Every structure is written in C-alpha cells, then in structure tokens.
C-alpha cells in the first residue's frame, strides 16, 4: 500500500471513530441533563404532595363536619360548616374545600355563595371519593374539574363518627398552576420539554401548551370511565420510536415527532412520579449531539493533520541529523572534552527537577487539606446555626400543641383551630428559615423589598412570650401607630428580633422587676430599633459577643451562634447591628439600624 493510500484510509478511520465517539458523548450528556431535569421536577411534585396530604385528615377531625353529616337538615349548622370550610380554604390556599355524604352528594363547600357552587352536586364517580370511602384512608387524584373546568389535585379523607363509622368524605382541590409555572421557569428554552402522562398515556401537564391533553401512547387503550378530563377532547400525537442511541441507557430512546409540515427528533426519558400513577416524560432535542459529533470530527481532523505534520517533521529532522552526523566526525574530540561537563550539568538539573516535583506534590497535598478543613468548618457552623434558629419555633409549636390538648378537653374547638393556624404559620416560617439559611454563605439574590418593621417584631414577641424564660418579664413594646417601612426581609428580620428579645429575657433571669423595652425611632434615612434590658449587662470583652461560638450562657441555653448569625443577616440586608452596656449602667442595649423605605402610592 502506498503512503498516499494509507494516509487516506487513516483519515477515513479517524472521521468514523470521532463520529461514533462524539455521538456517544453527546447522547450521554443529553440523557444526564434530562435525568437531572426529571429529578428536580420529581422533587417539586413530592414536596407539593407532602405539603397538602395531611390537610384533609386534619379538616376531617373538625367536629362541625361530623355534626353536619349527622344532621343534614340543620340549615344553621350547614351554614356554619360552609363558613368554616371557606376559612380553611383561605388558610391553606386551596381553590375548593367541600364535604360529601356517603352517596357522594355535596352538602357543604367553601364556594357555597359563588356561581357554580358544588352544593348539591354528586361526585360519587370520582376515584378520590370511592378510594377514601372504601379504604377509610386519605386518597389523591388528578382530574379536570367538571364544574370549574380547571385542572387540579384532589386530596380526600373520610369523616368518621366516634364509633368509627364513615359518615362522608371531605375533599381539598389544589390547582396545578404553581407546578406548571415553576416548570416553565426550568424549561424555558426550545431544547428541553416535559410532559406528565397518566396511565393511559394522556398528557395533563406540559411545558408546551400544544402538548396538553394529547395522547402520547395511543396503543395503551382508552381512559377509564371516571370523567378525569370531563369533555376535553384528547388528540393523538404523531410520535414514532426510533430505538435507543449509542451512549444512552435502556430507559431512553429516540423518537420523531411530526409537527405540522416539520418533524423533530427528541431523546425521550421516562421516570415515574411519587405516590401517583404518573409518568414524567422528558423530551430533549438531539441537535446538541450533532454539534458534539461535529466538534469531535473537527478535533479529530486537527489531531490527525497535527500527527501527520509531526511525523513529516520528525522524518525531515532525522534526515538532517544523519547529515550532521556525517559532518560531525571532526567534532568528536571537542564533544568528548565537554561530555563530562554536560553530565555534571545534567545530574544537577535532574536533582533540581526532583526537588521541585517533591515541593509541588507537598504543596498540592497541603492545599487539599486546607480545602477539606474549610469545608468541614463551614458545614459544622451551618449545622449548628440551623439547630439554634429552629429551636425557638419548635418550642412555640410544642406550647401551642399542649394548649390545644387542654382546649380539646374543655370543648373549645375554635381555640384549637386558632392554635393549629399558628402551628401551620410557624411550620411555614421554619421552612422559610431553611431556605433563607443560605444567606450565611452568600448575599441574597432577591430584589429589595419594603417591610413594615412592626410586623416581624410582633411575630418575634409571640414566639418569645410562649417560652418559659419570658414568664414574669415585663416587655414594654412601644409600637408606633404608623407603618415603619424599611429595606429588608420579614423572615430574616424576625430571626434577628427573636434572638435579640430572647437574649434580653434570658439576661434578666433572676433580676428583681425584670424589664425589656423595645423602641423604634427615625434617624435621617434609617430606622433605629433598640432592645434594652435591666440585666447585669455585657462582660468586659463585649467586642467578642458577635464572634461564632462565644457565649456567656450554659450549653443548654445556646451555642454562641445567635448574635453572629444575626449580624450576618443584618449585614446582608445593608444594615448594622451593635451592642453595648447602657450609659446609666442599668443593663445592656442592642441597636438594629435598617435603611428606610418610602411608602409608594
């Protein structure tokens, strides 16, 4: 074989190899991206289900629902039930909360005064009613409302009598707009789309409006006769399966979708969603794999020609070295004389190279140890800080739960309902605390917000006054009548105020006539909030109180992270937090300064 023929064959082999390897890498990357998108949305759905799943069971425990089912002809009692359901729907953010008897007829609903009310309508054909009635447990179902023509998740639970008999079913409907809006934010490009399919392969959630209520798997047969999509027409999708590409797993396959006069190729990845008979299908465009193949072919071509040029260069160099060797015979004596010097120089160079390589290795090991130590330090600080900040709302929840038990024994369901509302609010705040905890690692990315400073102080006082340490402490909250608008975030400011007020109540423990004063005053372009106590004051080394893990309390009262975390929160909001002993020597004073915001029309 001639040199030219061999070079052409090698070039063709290089192109084929890079084409295959590029496709393997490209499809593998597309599949990984699709699985990551599927995992994120799967977690989103799981969080939404876990959020609403226990709510119907709690509502079913309300004694007014049992009374309404036991005395269906009592109009006054039914009216009170309607109002209670209306208040519950407002609290949990649900579009519908309604009560059905054993026949499926709705006897009470939050929309009893609205056009298209559920009162009198029979939903016995719905699986969420049948499952709750037959199993005696909670049920979940997705459907298109026959009355409202709005998609939603239905959570249901049986209402039982004291002897365990099932009297009816209470249902809560939650619209899926939030799920779909967050979905659109994740798949806003034309590269990746997602649809959620039921057991019949019909899409009821889609990142593209044109793919909603379409049959993606027509070979599975018709939908069950439960009127899941009411009178909505279901159209099939022109989808053909092309097989699994090289580099993708068995869970993925290529499909071609006909869209009008155009056809597009997608990599389809299907994963099941939690608790429901749903399938999430991620549809990713395959053109990135083509560009990856082209990039690999270009790189392979460059490497091939680079190798050819290198080979030609080495061959030419060898020819020249041969010529020089012939001419260099006369220089042998001079080369021999300098050989010893060159050998000594080479040994010195080798020693220096060895020493530098050793130093480089030690430097890399030291850097890795420093990085690992920094990671462990940050992890420990964040873990301890979260434990500290979650302790106060948990204490308040425990107090509300104990009070609710006493109110139940006294037969005061309204107070129990109020306590449960407070517990739900505290749970939401605890969830918000975990989301806001990232402020300790980086600055907030949210837009500036206008916050009424009185509201987080009110909420903080509720938490602190529910603790045992605040008993007997006179808290003087000089609340301004007009709104106090400042630049900040309600949850994070409330964290700071809970810490400052809680520290003040602990500082006056054991003091005669313990007092804590809270004031707000305007100072130019800022609002100044002062928290004062009549305790023993700060220690001499008060400059260290904002350092992590510095505390004058026992380990039972705190870890010394509260003031450090509070200062980080205030710094992130563009404010200042300082503390010192009062000039009159009667206790300590902490000053919170936040930028003022003007009220807009």
For residue 533, the domain's CATH number is 3.30.565.10
Is the residue at 68 inside a domain? yes
**What CATH number corresponds to the domain at position 256?**
3.30.450.20
pLDDT bin (cut points 50, 70, 90) of residue 157 is very high
pLDDT at 525 over 80: yes
Per the structure, the count of domains in the chain is 3
Which residue did the predictor score with more confidence, 247 or 501? 501
d(CA 185, CA 182): 5
Spatial CA neighbour of 174 closest among 99, 91, 94, 275: 94
pLDDT at 107: 92
Q: In a 3-state reduction of DSSP, which class is residue 178?
A: helix
Is the residue at 316 inside a domain? no
Spatial CA neighbour of 58 closest among 425, 428, 417: 417
On whether the CB atoms of residues 205 and 176 are closer than 8 A, the answer is yes
pLDDT at 126 over 50: yes
pLDDT at 558: 54
d(CA 414, CA 403): 12
Burial 195-229 (b: 16+ CB within 10 A, else e): bbbbebbbbbbbbeeebbbbbbbbeeeebeeeebb
pLDDT at 590: 93
Whether residue 47 is found in the same domain as residue 187: yes
Is the residue at 278 inside a domain? yes
Whether residue 87 is found in the same domain as residue 20: no
φ, ψ of residue 533 to 5 degrees: the values are -135, 165
Q: Which residues contact 524 (CB under 8 A, 6 or more apart)?
A: none
- Note the pTM of the prediction, 2 decimals: 0.43
Whether residue 170 is found in the same domain as residue 187: no
pLDDT at 371: 35
Whether residue 100 is found in the same domain as residue 40: no
- The residues that bridge with 240 in the sheet, in sequence order, are 256
Is the residue at 416 inside a domain? no
Whether residue 571 is found in the same domain as residue 493: yes
Q: Best-predicted range by mean pLDDT among 22-26, 100-104, 204-208, 209-213?
A: 100-104
For the chain, the first-to-last Cα distance in angstroms comes to 87
Is the residue at 308 inside a domain? no
Whether residue 32 is found in the same domain as residue 102: no
pLDDT at 533: 92
Tokens of 367: 């850097």
448-477 confidence digits (pLDDT tens): 588 999 999 998 888 787 666 677 889 999
Whether residue 585 is found in the same domain as residue 547: yes
Domain boundary among 260, 291, 322: 291
244-280 confidence digits (pLDDT tens): 666 566 667 777 777 767 777 777 787 887 666 778 8
Spatial CA neighbour of 21 closest among 292, 381, 410, 210: 292
pLDDT at 182: 64
On whether the CB atoms of residues 207 and 185 are closer than 8 A, the answer is no
pLDDT bin (cut points 50, 70, 90) of residue 346 is confident
pLDDT bin (cut points 50, 70, 90) of residue 23 is low
Q: Give the β-pairing of 214-215 and 203-206.
A: unpaired
Q: Give the β-pairing of 235-236 and 214-215.
A: parallel
pLDDT bin (cut points 50, 70, 90) of residue 441 is very low
Q: What is the mean pLDDT of residues 536-562?
A: 67
pLDDT at 461: 87
pLDDT at 203: 76
**Run of H or E residues at 324:** helix 287-327
Task: Share the mean pLDDT of the chain.
Answer: 79
pLDDT at 384: 54
Is the residue at 275 inside a domain? yes
d(CA 503, CA 487): 24
Give how far Cα 401 sits from Cα of 136, 417, 472, 589, Å.
26, 11, 22, 34
Own/partner contacts of 558-564, CB < 8 Å, gap of 24 or more, are 558/388, 559/384, 559/387, 559/388, 561/381, 561/384, 561/385, 561/388, 562/388, 562/389, 562/499, 562/502, 562/503, 563/499, 563/503
Burial 552-571 (b: 16+ CB within 10 A, else e): eeeeeebbbbbbbbbbbbbe
d(CA 457, CA 527): 14
pLDDT at 370 over 50: no
pLDDT at 445 over 60: no
Whether residue 43 is found in the same domain as residue 152: no
d(CA 413, CA 62): 8
User: Which range, of 400-414, 462-476, 521-535, averages the lowest pLDDT?
Assistant: 462-476
pLDDT at 188: 44
Whether residue 494 is found in the same domain as residue 529: yes
pLDDT at 596: 92
Residue 193 domain boundaries = 3-52+179-291
d(CA 560, CA 546): 9
Whether residue 134 is found in the same domain as residue 249: no
112-125 confidence digits (pLDDT tens): 888 878 898 898 88
pLDDT at 531: 95
Is the residue at 579 inside a domain? yes
Which residue did the predictor score with more confidence, 14 or 513? 513
- Count Cβ atoms below 10 Å from residue 308 Cβ, excluding itself: 13
pLDDT bin (cut points 50, 70, 90) of residue 226 is low
Whether residue 43 is found in the same domain as residue 166: no
pLDDT bin (cut points 50, 70, 90) of residue 555 is very low
Q: Which residues contact 56 (CB under 8 A, 6 or more apart)?
A: 138, 155, 156, 157, 170, 171, 172
* Beta strands in 225-301, from DSSP E residues, in sequence order: 235-236, 239-243, 252-259, 262-272, 279-285
Domain boundary among 175, 207, 226: 175
Whether residue 234 is found in the same domain as residue 101: no
Is the residue at 318 inside a domain? no
Domain boundary among 175, 203, 232: 175
């Amino acid at each position: 074989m001639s040199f030219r023929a061999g070079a052409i064959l090698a070039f063709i082999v290089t192109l084929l190899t890079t084409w295959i390897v590029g496709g393997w890498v490209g499809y593998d990357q597309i599949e990984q991206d699709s699985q990551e998108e599927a995992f994120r949305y799967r977690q989103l759905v799981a969080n939404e289900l876990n959020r609403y799943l226990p709510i119907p069971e709690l509502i079913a425990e309300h004694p007014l629902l049992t009374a309404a089912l036991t005395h269906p002809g009592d109009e006054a009692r039914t009216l009170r039930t309607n109002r209670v359901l209306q208040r519950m729907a407002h609290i949990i953010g649900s579009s519908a909360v309604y009560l059905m008897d054993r026949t499926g007829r709705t006897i009470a609903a939050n929309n009893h005064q609205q056009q298209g009310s559920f009162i009198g309508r029979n939903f016995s054909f719905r699986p969420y009613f049948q499952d709750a009635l037959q199993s005696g447990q909670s049920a979940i179902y997705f459907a298109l409302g026959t009355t409202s023509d709005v998609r939603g998740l239905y959570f249901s639970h049986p209402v039982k009598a004291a002897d365990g008999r099932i009297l009816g079913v209470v249902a809560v409907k939650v619209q899926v707009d939030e799920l779909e809006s967050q979905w659109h934010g994740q798949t806003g490009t034309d590269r990746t789309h997602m649809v959620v399919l039921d057991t019949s392969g019909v899409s009821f959630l889609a990142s593209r409006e044109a793919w909603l209520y379409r049959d993606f798997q027509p070979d599975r047969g018709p939908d069950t006769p439960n009127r899941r999509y009411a009178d909505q027409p279901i159209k099939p999708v022109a989808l053909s399966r092309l097989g699994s590409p090289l580099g993708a797993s068995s869970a993925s396959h290529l499909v071609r979708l006909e869209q009008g006069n155009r056809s597009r190729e997608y990599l389809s990845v299907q994963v099941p969603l939690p608790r429901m008979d749903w399938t999430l299908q991620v549809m990713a465009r395959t053109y990135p794999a083509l560009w990856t193949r082209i990039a690999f072919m270009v790189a392979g071509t460059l490497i091939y020609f680079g190798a050819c040029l290198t080979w030609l260069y080495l061959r030419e160099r060898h020819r020249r070295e041969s010529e020089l060797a012939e001419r260099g015979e006369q220089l042998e004596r001079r080369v021999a004389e300098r050989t010893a010097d060159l050998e000594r120089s080479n040994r010195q160079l080798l020693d220096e190279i060895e020493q530098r390589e050793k130093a480089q290795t030690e430097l890399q090991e030291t850097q890795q140890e420093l990085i690992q130590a920094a990671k462990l330090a940050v992890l420990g600080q964040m873990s301890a800080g979260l434990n500290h900040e979650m302790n106060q709302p948990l204490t308040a929840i425990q107090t509300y739960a104990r009070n609710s038990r006493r109110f139940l024994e006294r037969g005061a369901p309204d107070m129990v309902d109020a306590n449960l509302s407070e517990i739900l609010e505290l749970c939401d705040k605890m969830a918000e605390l975990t989301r806001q905890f990232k402020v300790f690692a980086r600055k907030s990315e949210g837009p500036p917000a206008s916050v009424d400073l009185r509201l987080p102080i009110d909420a903080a006082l509720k938490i602190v006054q529910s603790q045992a340490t605040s008993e007997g402490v006179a808290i003087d909250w000089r609340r301004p009548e007009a709104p106090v608008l400042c630049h900040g975030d309600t949850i994070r400011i409330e964290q700071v105020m809970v810490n400052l007020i809680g520290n003040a109540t602990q500082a006056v423990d054991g003091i005669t006539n313990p007092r804590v004063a809270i004031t707000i005053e305007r100072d130019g372009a800022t609002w100044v909030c002062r928290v004062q106590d009549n305790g023993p004051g700060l220690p001499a080394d008060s400059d260290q109180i904002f350092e992590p893990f510095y505390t004058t309390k026992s380990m039972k009262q705190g870890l010394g992270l509260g003031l450090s975390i509070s200062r980080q929160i205030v710094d992130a909001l563009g404010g200042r937090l300082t503390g010192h002993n009062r000039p009159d020597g009667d206790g300590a004073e902490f000053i919170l300064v936040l930028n003022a915001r003007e009220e807009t029309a």
